[in-house]
Structures are given as structure tokens and as C-alpha cells.
A and B are shown apart, each in its own frame.
Chain A
Amino acid sequence: MLLKFSLFWRFQIVGWIAFFFLVLPTKWVITGSFLEAVGSFLLRDGCSFLLTLPMRHVYRRIYRGHQTPAWIVGSIAVASVLAALLQLPVLYGLEGYFPFEESIIFGQLVLLAMFYYRVCLFACWSVLYFGIKVMQGKAEREVRLAQTVAERRGVELQRLRALMNSHFMFNALNTVLSALEQQRRGVIKMVQSLADYLNYSLRHKDDDFVFLGDEADALGDYLVLEKARLGTILNIACQIDDSVREIRVPGVILQPLVENAIKFGCATCSPPVVVRIAVRRQKSELLIEVANTGKWIEPEEKRICGGLGLANIRQRLDWLYDDRYYMEILSEQNWVSVQIRIPAES
């Protein structure tokens, strides 16, 4: 039943019940009657209980999780004194009104002692409150950290998958075998390109960023094999300025974009599919544009499609650049294009 309440209320309820049993014997001795002791508790400590609620409200508003210990101690002191001052009229006002209070003699000194006692009570309550808050914050931070690590691992995995594009490798091997069986020309170039691509993949498997020049060369190797596989169906126009080769880009970004363009171009337009690749510098930014003939298909339900090339790229850019990048998918007439702008850093 207690589990239905929030953490605060669980501690609040259990704490005050425990406190009741703690002070009951003393009150019983002072008042000389069990009922009077309970009544006194309900009135005086009930009032303190009620005062902790606005205190919580105030603490919640001012505590942001990064204040210094001195700041917390200061606010506890101020809040406790204020709360005890607010309770003073209750302590004082009860004098003489209730029969069971008669046995206590109220002098100024007693009142001062009771005031001091309340200040301590509120301070203890506050220390507990902040203690639990700090611990909770710590636990939350740990969970968040674990999430970030998991996220990072996910992004990493996607990059490795794109890098070790087994789908492409096996298709390429299929093409090579076919070319050998049919005694076609160009097999040497195909095998060389496949070897270079594999080499590139292994060399950069731990790098977040690579030189655009290397990335472009790997794309060239990839395209040699795709051209051999798809023959006249595929028409590629690639324009990558030599001046951008020294710029660093996220590893394996061009090839998945092009793979996506070829794949969906084949699916949505009658052959030949034209794929246009353009990479150039625009002021302080690098512009990557990959366009294909065909139509934009809304990604079906993710699980049916399996891999979502573009969504993966976006997630990786998100991770690496935060909001310092721009990615847009444009669809007009018979062209679909993906534009990416990232900072041109070398």
C-alpha cells in the first residue's frame, strides 16, 4: 500500500510514525496519561508535520541539484528558524486551553527550550530531506550515464555495421564470381577495389572521423563493384572537389548515402537510375549532397525495413555534432536528394 505513494510521502509517513513512538514515552511521563500524551503529540507535532509541507515546497523550488553544501546548510538554518517561529504561537497559545497541558509550567525559559527543540526538529527533517534528494540525484545521474554509454555503444555499432557492410561484401563476391564464370573483363579491377575497400574498413574501424579524401576513395572502390553488379541500370555522376580532401568527416558517411540512393532509385524509377554525388565547401561548412532519380518512399514500419540507412546517419550526426549540423531530405518531381551540412574542420 505504501508503494503507491511517492518516495517523499513514503519517508514522510514512516518517519513521523517512527518519531511518534520515539517521543511517546517522554510525553507520557510528563503528562502522566497516555491519552494526553497522544493528544499533545497530535497537536504539537501534527503542527510541525503540516509545517514541513510548505518547507518541502520551498526546498523543491530552490534546490537545483548543484548548490554547495554551505548553501544547503544556510537554507536549512533559515527555514528551520522560520518554521519554528511560525509554530511558536501554537506552542504558546495552547497554554491553559487544554486540560492536559496544565501540568506543564510555561515559563519563558521553557518556551525558549521548546523553540530550540522545534528548530532542531525542523533542521533534522531538512537534513534527511536533502540527504535523500542528493542520493536520489546521484542514482539518477548514474542511470543517465549508463544510458549515455549504451547510446554511444549503439552509435558505435551502427558505424561498424556500415563499415563492415557484409551485405555489400557478399553481393560484391557474387558479382566477382559471376564475372569469372562468364569470363568477363574487369575482374582484376573488381577484386582490387574490393580488397581496397576491405582495407579501408579495417584501417578505420576505431576512428570517429576520417579524411574526406580517404572516404571518397573508398566510395570509388564501392562504386566500381556496384557498377559491375548493376551494369547499365546505374548511372553515376560524382563530383568531389580536390580542395575538400583534407577535411575531416564522420567515418563511413558517403557510402551509406549512396547505397541508399541506389537502392531506392532502383525501387522507384525505371532504369537507368541516375545518382548524383556532390561534395563541396561552402564558407565554413561542408556540403554533401546525394541525389537519385525516383520517388521518396516513406520508411515503412522500421521493423519491416530492417536497417534504416538515413535514420542511422542522422543519429550518428546527432551524436558527433549535437546541433551543429543540418540534414534535409528533398523530394521534387523525379528526384530525391539528401543534403547534409557539417562544419568543415580539418
Chain B
Amino acid sequence: MINSTLRALIVDDDPTARERLRFLLAEHPEINVAGEASSVATAMALCRDLHPNLIFLDVDMPGGNGFSLLEKLDPLPSVIFVTAYDAFAVRAFEVNAVDYLLKPISPRRLADAIQRLIHEPPRTQTIPYRTTDRVFLPHGRGYRIVFISDICGIEARENYTEVLLVDGTHVLMRRPLLEWDQRLPKSLFFSPHRSLIVNLKAVHNVVLESRARLSFKLQGRDRAFVMGQRPAARLRRALRLASE
């Protein structure tokens, strides 16, 4: 990406904001604004035609907000989010370590964001999640955006983790289970053993098959999870605490 111009797309329903961003980007010869879109639908069409490698994306657009574009594009270009202060959106950006600009965009911050985009590797973020947070899960060449509370369990698969979602689907991603365990809220998630984390609210059909064997199911899945005596005891204790 270095030393070449970036083809950028501006996505915002506000014509003045588009115009202003274009004006500010005129200072940056490394960015070539290839197109503008006023809705998620137009943005998708433009992405197909122009293959931009950078999108300035306003998140507060009615009828399909900016986040939904993130899920629909494959491959996903680099994204710099833009918002006029919206606490929910800002929290999502922080938690997921994505770059964002607040309106009115300051020329200095815009320059910083472009510099970071060109010269720095993507940041990793370790702030703990809250149950209301949205998390961007890499999925294919794009993202899936899910609420933390919609994760019903996470299983370790060697170097990967499989994130099980309440709708029955799952996302396989390269992130160790330990990191999940450190970031997920303890009030909702529990790790009975080293290769599994469960959402306590999603655990059901708990059957104590014998003194040394317990099975349970997770919401959205038919498969039963089975565990031995000690993890079973730990899980039962966590479930009891969670239900009190």
C-alpha cells in the first residue's frame, strides 16, 4: 500500500459532510476519492464497480446503518469510521480497535488516521468487553458483527477458536481461547475447562448423568456437551451463582 495512491469511497447520507470530507482530503494526494455514496445500497454497488481500498464510512445512516455495510462487503477494504458523536458507535470502535473520526472532522485527526492506515500495522485491543458491546469477528474476507450477549459459547480448535452464536451459526477465528477468557465479562461467561467458554444464560438441559459425568446443551445447538467430574462441579457452581 505504501507509495501508491489509495482509491477511497465516501459513504455518508449528509451531502455537506461528504463535500467537506472531499475538501479536506484534497490536502492528501495519497488519497484519491473515487466515489461518494449516500446510502448503504449505493455504497455496495460502487464497491463492486470501483474496488476501493479505503472507505470513509458514516455509521449513523437510517435504513441500514454503516455497520451493516461492513458485513456485506467481501473482500472488505480498509475502513475509517465517521460519526457525529454517538456513544454506542464510539464504544464499538474502541472495543474493536478500528479507526474513527468524529464530526466535525478536524484536519489534523484526519491526517493522523491516514498516516496510521498507511504506516502502522493494525492495532490489537485488549479492553474488556461489556455484555452490551458489539464485536467485529473476522469472517471470510469481511466481518460479522455480533453482540457479546449473542455468543453462546467458544470452543478452542488448536490455534483457532470457534465462536458459537445463538442463531446456530459459528465463526472460526484466529484468537486464543485465553484471550477471550480474559476479555469476556465474568458475569455472563464461564470457562469450565481449558478448551471451552460458555455463556451461562445459554446453558440449558443440564443433565447429571452420573457422579462423574454431566451433559448440557447450548442455545441454538442440538449437540450435547459432556464434561467430567471437576469441570462439571465448577460449572454447576457458576450456574448456581448466576441464577441467584
- Which B86-110 residues have a C-beta within 8 angstroms of A? 86, 88-89, 102-105
Chain B stretch 126-181: residues in CB contact (< 8 A) with chain A = 132, 147
Partner of A174, one of B13, B84, B88: B84
Q: Is A174 a contact partner of B63 (Cβ separation < 8 A)?
A: no
Nearest-neighbor residue (CB-CB) of B23 within chain A: A181
Provide a sorted-by-A list of 22 A–B residue pairs whose CB atoms are within 8 angstroms: A167-B85, A170-B102, A170-B103, A170-B104, A173-B103, A174-B16, A174-B20, A174-B105, A178-B16, A178-B17, A182-B23, A228-B16, A229-B15, A229-B16, A264-B63, A266-B13, A267-B39, A267-B64, A297-B62, A297-B63, A303-B147, A306-B89
Binding site for A on B (CB under 8 A): 13-17, 19-20, 23, 39, 60-65, 84-86, 88-89, 102-105, 132, 147
- Give Cα A154 to B182, complex, Å: 33
Contact, CB under 8 Å: B85 / A267: no
Least CB distance from A246 to B in Å reads: 35
Closest 7 CB pairs of A and B: A267-B63, A267-B62, A170-B84, A174-B104, A178-B20, A171-B84, A174-B103
> If the complex has contacts A167-B60, A267-B63, are A181 and B20 also in contact, measured as CB distance less than 8 A?
yes
Bound state CA distance, A170 and B65, in angstroms? 19
| CB atoms of B16 and A303 under 8 A apart | no
Q: A167 to B85: give the CA distance in the assembly, Å.
A: 6
User: Which residue of A is nearest B61, CB measured?
Assistant: A267
Q: CB-defined interface of A167-194 with B at 8 Å, one 1/0 digit per residue?
A: 1101101110111011000000000000
How far does the Cβ of B54 sit from chain A's closest Cβ, in whole Å? 20
Cβ of A127 < 8 Å from any Cβ of B?
no
Residues from chain A with a CB closer than 8 A to the CB of B86 are 167, 306
Chain B residues lying within 8 Å of A168, measured Cβ to Cβ, are: 84
Instruction: Decide if A171 touches B17 in the complex (CB within 8 Å).
Output: yes
Which residues from chain A contact B102 at a C-beta distance below 8 Å?
170
Interface range, A side: 20 to 34
**Complex CA distance for A263 and B17, rounded to whole angstroms:** 15
Q: How far is the CB of A186 from chain B (nearest CB, A)?
A: 12
User: In the complex, are the beta carbons of A167 and B19 less than 8 A apart?
Assistant: no
CA distance A170 to B104 in the complex (A): 6
Measured in the bound complex, the distance between the Cα atoms of B86 and A212 in whole Å is 29
Which residues on the A side are within 8 Å of B85 (C-beta)? 166-167, 170
* Alpha-carbon separation in the docked complex, A175 to B23 (Å): 13
Which residue of chain A lies nearest to B89 when distances are taken between CB atoms in the complex?
Answer: A306
A75 within 8 A of partner (CB): no
B13→A177 contact, CB < 8 A: no
Q: Which residue of A lies closest to B40 (CB)?
A: A267
Asked if A110 is at the interface (CB within 8 A of a chain B CB), the reply is: no
Chain A residue, CB-CB nearest to B145? A304
Contacts of B89 in A (CB 8 A): 306
Q: Which of B14, B17, B65 contacts A304 (CB 8 A)?
A: B65
Q: How far is the CB of B229 from chain A (nearest CB, A)?
A: 25
Most buried by B among A171, A178, A179, A233: A178
